[in-house]
A = this chain, B = another copy of it.
Amino acid sequence: MNLSMKDIANALNVSKTTVSWVLAGQGDRRKISLSTQEKILAYARKVNYQPNLLARSLTNGSSNTLGLVIPSIDDEFYAHIAREVEMEAEKYSYSLTFCSSETDPKRESRIIRMLKSKRVDGLIIAPTKHSREELDILVEEKYPFVLIDRYFPELDTNYIILDNEGSSHQLVTRLVRDGRKKIALITSDTHLLVMNLRRDGYRRALSEAGLPAIPALYGEVKRGEYVTDIIRVLDGIFTEVPDVDGFYFSTHYLAMEALRYFYRHGMDITEKIGLACLHTVSSFEILAPRMYIAEQPIREIGRQAVQILVNELKSADREKTKMVLPAVMNFNE
Protein backbone atom coordinates (compact mmCIF):
# COMPACT_ATOMS: atom_id res chain seq x y z
CA MET A 1 0.00 0.00 0.00
CA ASN A 2 1.49 3.25 1.18
CA LEU A 3 5.19 3.74 0.96
CA SER A 4 7.15 4.92 3.95
CA MET A 5 10.05 7.29 4.24
CA LYS A 6 12.34 4.35 4.38
CA ASP A 7 11.09 3.15 1.01
CA ILE A 8 11.69 6.53 -0.49
CA ALA A 9 15.14 6.73 1.06
CA ASN A 10 16.08 3.34 -0.30
CA ALA A 11 14.73 4.01 -3.74
CA LEU A 12 16.68 7.23 -3.95
CA ASN A 13 19.84 6.18 -2.14
CA VAL A 14 19.56 8.84 0.51
CA SER A 15 18.91 8.45 4.19
CA LYS A 16 15.60 8.47 5.98
CA THR A 17 16.70 11.61 7.72
CA THR A 18 17.18 13.52 4.52
CA VAL A 19 13.79 12.47 3.32
CA SER A 20 12.26 13.54 6.59
CA TRP A 21 13.89 16.97 6.46
CA VAL A 22 12.84 17.63 2.93
CA LEU A 23 9.30 16.40 3.31
CA ALA A 24 8.94 18.49 6.45
CA GLY A 25 9.90 21.54 4.42
CA GLN A 26 13.14 21.94 6.30
CA GLY A 27 15.27 21.26 3.28
CA ASP A 28 16.57 24.79 2.99
CA ARG A 29 17.16 25.29 6.67
CA ARG A 30 19.12 22.07 6.75
CA LYS A 31 20.94 23.01 3.59
CA ILE A 32 20.04 19.97 1.59
CA SER A 33 21.12 20.43 -1.99
CA LEU A 34 18.40 21.57 -4.29
CA SER A 35 18.86 18.61 -6.56
CA THR A 36 18.36 16.17 -3.71
CA GLN A 37 15.34 18.07 -2.52
CA GLU A 38 13.71 18.04 -5.88
CA LYS A 39 14.49 14.42 -6.41
CA ILE A 40 12.78 13.55 -3.13
CA LEU A 41 9.82 15.83 -3.64
CA ALA A 42 9.24 14.53 -7.12
CA TYR A 43 9.41 10.93 -6.07
CA ALA A 44 7.14 11.49 -3.09
CA ARG A 45 4.58 13.10 -5.32
CA LYS A 46 4.89 10.37 -7.87
CA VAL A 47 4.18 7.57 -5.43
CA ASN A 48 1.63 9.76 -3.66
CA TYR A 49 3.41 9.53 -0.36
CA GLN A 50 1.23 10.04 2.71
CA PRO A 51 2.93 10.24 6.08
CA ASN A 52 1.77 7.82 8.72
CA LEU A 53 0.20 10.13 11.24
CA LEU A 54 0.17 7.45 13.89
CA ALA A 55 3.91 7.15 13.78
CA ARG A 56 4.37 10.88 13.71
CA SER A 57 2.07 11.37 16.66
CA LEU A 58 3.79 8.67 18.61
CA THR A 59 7.11 10.30 18.03
CA ASN A 60 5.91 13.78 18.69
CA GLY A 61 3.83 12.84 21.66
CA SER A 62 0.98 14.80 20.21
CA SER A 63 -1.63 13.96 17.65
CA ASN A 64 -2.73 17.39 16.51
CA THR A 65 -6.24 16.33 17.21
CA LEU A 66 -8.88 17.71 19.51
CA GLY A 67 -11.65 15.61 20.97
CA LEU A 68 -15.24 16.74 21.29
CA VAL A 69 -17.58 14.94 23.64
CA ILE A 70 -21.24 15.85 23.45
CA PRO A 71 -24.39 14.29 24.82
CA SER A 72 -25.98 13.66 21.46
CA ILE A 73 -25.21 14.56 17.89
CA ASP A 74 -28.89 14.13 17.18
CA ASP A 75 -29.51 17.36 18.98
CA GLU A 76 -29.46 20.29 16.60
CA PHE A 77 -27.67 22.42 19.14
CA TYR A 78 -24.77 20.05 19.58
CA ALA A 79 -24.63 19.36 15.89
CA HIS A 80 -24.12 23.07 15.32
CA ILE A 81 -21.51 23.19 18.03
CA ALA A 82 -19.72 20.27 16.42
CA ARG A 83 -19.65 22.11 13.15
CA GLU A 84 -18.25 25.30 14.61
CA VAL A 85 -15.64 23.47 16.60
CA GLU A 86 -14.55 21.51 13.57
CA MET A 87 -14.20 24.62 11.45
CA GLU A 88 -12.36 26.54 14.11
CA ALA A 89 -10.04 23.66 14.91
CA GLU A 90 -9.16 23.45 11.27
CA LYS A 91 -7.91 27.03 11.35
CA TYR A 92 -5.29 25.96 13.81
CA SER A 93 -4.70 22.81 11.78
CA TYR A 94 -6.10 20.56 14.40
CA SER A 95 -8.44 17.86 13.36
CA LEU A 96 -11.41 16.80 15.38
CA THR A 97 -12.55 13.49 16.74
CA PHE A 98 -16.06 13.64 18.01
CA CYS A 99 -18.00 11.20 20.11
CA SER A 100 -21.43 11.36 21.61
CA SER A 101 -22.05 10.11 25.09
CA GLU A 102 -25.78 9.61 24.63
CA THR A 103 -26.00 11.17 28.08
CA ASP A 104 -24.80 7.89 29.49
CA PRO A 105 -22.14 8.54 32.15
CA LYS A 106 -20.54 5.16 31.57
CA ARG A 107 -20.28 5.81 27.88
CA GLU A 108 -18.94 9.23 28.60
CA SER A 109 -16.19 7.91 30.83
CA ARG A 110 -15.26 5.32 28.29
CA ILE A 111 -15.12 7.89 25.55
CA ILE A 112 -12.97 10.29 27.50
CA ARG A 113 -10.53 7.53 28.36
CA MET A 114 -10.47 6.35 24.81
CA LEU A 115 -9.72 9.82 23.52
CA LYS A 116 -6.96 10.22 26.04
CA SER A 117 -5.56 6.87 25.00
CA LYS A 118 -5.56 8.08 21.46
CA ARG A 119 -3.56 11.00 22.74
CA VAL A 120 -5.83 13.73 21.55
CA ASP A 121 -4.21 16.97 22.59
CA GLY A 122 -7.21 18.43 24.30
CA LEU A 123 -10.86 17.84 25.00
CA ILE A 124 -14.00 19.89 24.61
CA ILE A 125 -16.72 18.41 26.73
CA ALA A 126 -20.40 19.11 27.21
CA PRO A 127 -20.64 17.08 30.37
CA THR A 128 -23.59 15.04 31.51
CA LYS A 129 -24.81 15.21 35.05
CA HIS A 130 -22.55 12.55 36.52
CA SER A 131 -19.31 13.49 34.88
CA ARG A 132 -17.55 14.62 38.00
CA GLU A 133 -15.25 11.67 38.62
CA GLU A 134 -13.84 11.61 35.15
CA LEU A 135 -13.38 15.36 35.21
CA ASP A 136 -11.62 15.16 38.55
CA ILE A 137 -9.12 12.85 36.95
CA LEU A 138 -8.61 15.19 34.03
CA VAL A 139 -8.00 18.08 36.39
CA GLU A 140 -5.57 16.08 38.43
CA GLU A 141 -3.70 14.94 35.34
CA LYS A 142 -3.70 18.51 34.04
CA TYR A 143 -5.14 17.25 30.83
CA PRO A 144 -6.20 20.28 28.77
CA PHE A 145 -9.93 20.52 28.44
CA VAL A 146 -12.76 23.00 28.35
CA LEU A 147 -16.34 22.49 29.37
CA ILE A 148 -19.15 23.90 27.32
CA ASP A 149 -22.84 24.33 27.94
CA ARG A 150 -22.62 22.92 31.45
CA TYR A 151 -20.07 23.23 34.17
CA PHE A 152 -19.17 22.47 37.76
CA PRO A 153 -18.60 25.66 39.72
CA GLU A 154 -16.57 23.91 42.38
CA LEU A 155 -14.05 22.70 39.80
CA ASP A 156 -11.29 24.98 38.58
CA THR A 157 -11.65 24.33 34.87
CA ASN A 158 -12.04 26.24 31.67
CA TYR A 159 -15.65 26.64 30.79
CA ILE A 160 -17.92 28.51 28.44
CA ILE A 161 -21.53 28.67 29.32
CA LEU A 162 -24.58 30.70 28.68
CA ASP A 163 -25.79 33.26 31.17
CA ASN A 164 -28.64 30.98 32.08
CA GLU A 165 -30.12 32.96 34.91
CA GLY A 166 -29.90 36.24 33.06
CA SER A 167 -31.36 34.94 29.82
CA SER A 168 -34.23 33.32 31.66
CA HIS A 169 -34.87 36.52 33.48
CA GLN A 170 -34.95 38.50 30.26
CA LEU A 171 -37.31 36.10 28.56
CA VAL A 172 -39.79 35.97 31.39
CA THR A 173 -39.60 39.70 31.92
CA ARG A 174 -40.49 40.13 28.27
CA LEU A 175 -43.59 38.02 28.76
CA VAL A 176 -44.48 40.07 31.79
CA ARG A 177 -44.19 43.25 29.76
CA ASP A 178 -46.78 41.80 27.40
CA GLY A 179 -49.11 41.69 30.35
CA ARG A 180 -48.82 37.97 31.04
CA LYS A 181 -49.66 37.26 34.64
CA LYS A 182 -49.83 33.48 34.91
CA ILE A 183 -46.67 32.24 33.34
CA ALA A 184 -45.89 28.55 33.65
CA LEU A 185 -42.39 27.19 33.76
CA ILE A 186 -41.87 23.97 31.85
CA THR A 187 -38.58 22.36 32.68
CA SER A 188 -36.73 19.07 33.02
CA ASP A 189 -33.38 17.61 34.03
CA THR A 190 -33.57 19.58 37.24
CA HIS A 191 -30.49 17.95 38.67
CA LEU A 192 -28.49 20.00 36.21
CA LEU A 193 -27.14 23.20 37.58
CA VAL A 194 -27.98 25.11 34.43
CA MET A 195 -31.59 24.14 34.76
CA ASN A 196 -31.72 25.47 38.27
CA LEU A 197 -30.23 28.72 37.09
CA ARG A 198 -32.92 28.99 34.46
CA ARG A 199 -35.56 28.42 37.08
CA ASP A 200 -33.95 31.06 39.27
CA GLY A 201 -34.11 33.59 36.47
CA TYR A 202 -37.76 32.81 35.97
CA ARG A 203 -38.49 33.27 39.65
CA ARG A 204 -36.57 36.50 39.89
CA ALA A 205 -38.46 37.92 36.94
CA LEU A 206 -41.77 37.02 38.54
CA SER A 207 -40.87 38.40 41.92
CA GLU A 208 -39.51 41.62 40.45
CA ALA A 209 -42.82 42.00 38.68
CA GLY A 210 -44.67 41.40 41.89
CA LEU A 211 -46.27 38.24 40.53
CA PRO A 212 -46.90 35.30 42.81
CA ALA A 213 -45.09 32.04 42.25
CA ILE A 214 -48.00 29.68 41.81
CA PRO A 215 -46.90 26.09 42.41
CA ALA A 216 -49.41 24.73 39.95
CA LEU A 217 -47.59 26.66 37.23
CA TYR A 218 -44.41 24.72 37.77
CA GLY A 219 -44.23 21.87 35.29
CA GLU A 220 -41.42 19.41 35.63
CA VAL A 221 -41.15 16.88 32.85
CA LYS A 222 -39.34 13.58 33.22
CA ARG A 223 -36.38 13.49 30.91
CA GLY A 224 -36.18 10.34 28.88
CA GLU A 225 -39.91 10.10 28.53
CA TYR A 226 -40.53 13.77 27.96
CA VAL A 227 -42.50 13.18 24.79
CA THR A 228 -45.29 11.55 26.73
CA ASP A 229 -44.74 13.11 30.10
CA ILE A 230 -45.14 16.65 28.87
CA ILE A 231 -48.72 15.83 27.96
CA ARG A 232 -49.42 14.95 31.56
CA VAL A 233 -47.75 18.13 32.73
CA LEU A 234 -49.59 20.40 30.31
CA ASP A 235 -52.92 18.70 30.95
CA GLY A 236 -52.32 19.29 34.64
CA ILE A 237 -51.58 22.96 34.23
CA PHE A 238 -54.58 23.63 32.03
CA THR A 239 -56.86 21.88 34.51
CA GLU A 240 -55.54 23.59 37.59
CA VAL A 241 -54.94 27.01 36.07
CA PRO A 242 -57.30 27.30 33.12
CA ASP A 243 -56.38 30.93 32.56
CA VAL A 244 -52.65 30.31 32.26
CA ASP A 245 -51.46 32.95 29.80
CA GLY A 246 -47.80 32.26 29.28
CA PHE A 247 -45.26 29.46 29.03
CA TYR A 248 -41.57 29.65 29.54
CA PHE A 249 -39.70 26.58 28.33
CA SER A 250 -36.31 26.01 29.80
CA THR A 251 -35.13 24.25 26.68
CA HIS A 252 -36.01 23.69 23.06
CA TYR A 253 -37.21 20.12 22.99
CA LEU A 254 -39.78 20.92 25.66
CA ALA A 255 -41.04 23.82 23.59
CA MET A 256 -41.16 21.57 20.57
CA GLU A 257 -43.35 19.00 22.27
CA ALA A 258 -45.53 21.70 23.77
CA LEU A 259 -46.06 23.22 20.35
CA ARG A 260 -47.11 19.82 19.11
CA TYR A 261 -49.58 19.72 21.99
CA PHE A 262 -50.91 23.21 21.31
CA TYR A 263 -51.36 22.45 17.63
CA ARG A 264 -53.14 19.21 18.33
CA HIS A 265 -55.50 21.00 20.69
CA GLY A 266 -55.95 23.90 18.28
CA MET A 267 -54.85 26.43 20.85
CA ASP A 268 -54.26 30.07 20.17
CA ILE A 269 -50.60 30.71 20.82
CA THR A 270 -50.54 34.15 19.31
CA GLU A 271 -52.89 36.18 21.45
CA LYS A 272 -54.09 34.22 24.41
CA ILE A 273 -50.85 32.53 25.30
CA GLY A 274 -47.41 34.06 25.28
CA LEU A 275 -44.39 31.85 24.74
CA ALA A 276 -40.72 32.03 25.53
CA CYS A 277 -37.94 29.53 25.21
CA LEU A 278 -34.29 29.25 25.94
CA HIS A 279 -32.52 27.60 22.99
CA THR A 280 -34.09 27.17 19.62
CA VAL A 281 -34.44 24.96 16.62
CA SER A 282 -34.94 26.19 13.12
CA SER A 283 -38.58 25.22 12.86
CA PHE A 284 -39.66 27.53 15.67
CA GLU A 285 -39.48 30.37 13.24
CA ILE A 286 -42.42 28.91 11.41
CA LEU A 287 -44.15 27.02 14.17
CA ALA A 288 -44.21 29.87 16.64
CA PRO A 289 -42.94 33.05 15.07
CA ARG A 290 -43.97 35.10 18.08
CA MET A 291 -42.21 33.00 20.66
CA TYR A 292 -39.48 34.90 22.48
CA ILE A 293 -36.25 33.08 22.09
CA ALA A 294 -32.85 33.27 23.70
CA GLU A 295 -30.36 31.60 21.44
CA GLN A 296 -27.05 30.15 22.41
CA PRO A 297 -24.18 32.01 20.77
CA ILE A 298 -23.10 28.82 19.09
CA ARG A 299 -20.38 30.21 16.90
CA GLU A 300 -18.85 32.07 19.79
CA ILE A 301 -18.91 28.98 21.97
CA GLY A 302 -17.25 26.84 19.33
CA ARG A 303 -14.60 29.40 18.58
CA GLN A 304 -13.73 30.22 22.12
CA ALA A 305 -13.59 26.59 23.12
CA VAL A 306 -11.00 25.85 20.47
CA GLN A 307 -9.02 28.97 21.18
CA ILE A 308 -8.85 28.36 24.88
CA LEU A 309 -7.59 24.88 24.20
CA VAL A 310 -5.06 25.97 21.64
CA ASN A 311 -3.70 28.60 24.00
CA GLU A 312 -3.46 26.17 26.83
CA LEU A 313 -1.60 23.76 24.59
CA LYS A 314 0.91 26.43 23.73
CA SER A 315 1.55 27.43 27.30
CA ALA A 316 0.40 25.09 30.00
CA ASP A 317 -0.48 26.18 33.49
CA ARG A 318 -2.24 29.33 32.55
CA GLU A 319 -5.22 30.65 34.43
CA LYS A 320 -8.40 28.83 33.59
CA THR A 321 -10.77 30.77 31.39
CA LYS A 322 -14.30 31.03 32.68
CA MET A 323 -16.74 32.61 30.27
CA VAL A 324 -20.38 33.34 30.77
CA LEU A 325 -21.83 34.47 27.47
CA PRO A 326 -25.01 36.43 26.96
CA ALA A 327 -27.71 34.86 24.84
CA VAL A 328 -28.77 36.21 21.47
CA MET A 329 -32.38 37.39 21.69
CA ASN A 330 -34.90 37.47 18.88
CA PHE A 331 -36.58 40.55 20.37
CA ASN A 332 -35.66 43.96 21.72
CA GLU A 333 -34.96 44.83 25.35
Contacts and interface: CB of A to CB of B under 8 A. Distances in A.
Nearest to A81: B73
Interface residues of A, number: 48
A79 interface: yes
Given A1-B141, A119-B54, A263-B286, A76 B76 contact: yes
A96 B99 contact: yes
Interface in A104-118: 113-114, 116-118
Interface stretch (A45-53, A160-168, A179-187): A45-53
A72 interface: yes
A86 interface: yes
A208 B117 CA distance: 59
Interface in A40-70: 48, 50-55, 57-58, 63
B50 A117 contact: yes
A98 interface: yes
A141 B2 CA distance: 9
B58 A83 contact: no
A86 to B, nearest CB: 6
Number of copies of chain A assembled together: 2
Given A73-B82, A74-B80, A53 B114 contact: yes
Interface in A77-109: 79-80, 82-83, 86-87, 95-100, 102
A130 B102 CA distance: 34
Contacts of A116: 2, 50
B53 A55 contact: no
A295 to B, nearest CB: 15
Contacts of A72: 83
A137 B57 contact: no
Contact of A286 (B53, B99, B102, B283): B283
A79 B282 CA distance: 15
Nearest to A76: B76
Contacts of A79: 73-74, 76, 79
Nearest 6 pairs of A and B residues by beta carbon: A283-B283, A53-B117, A79-B79, A54-B58, A53-B118, A97-B97
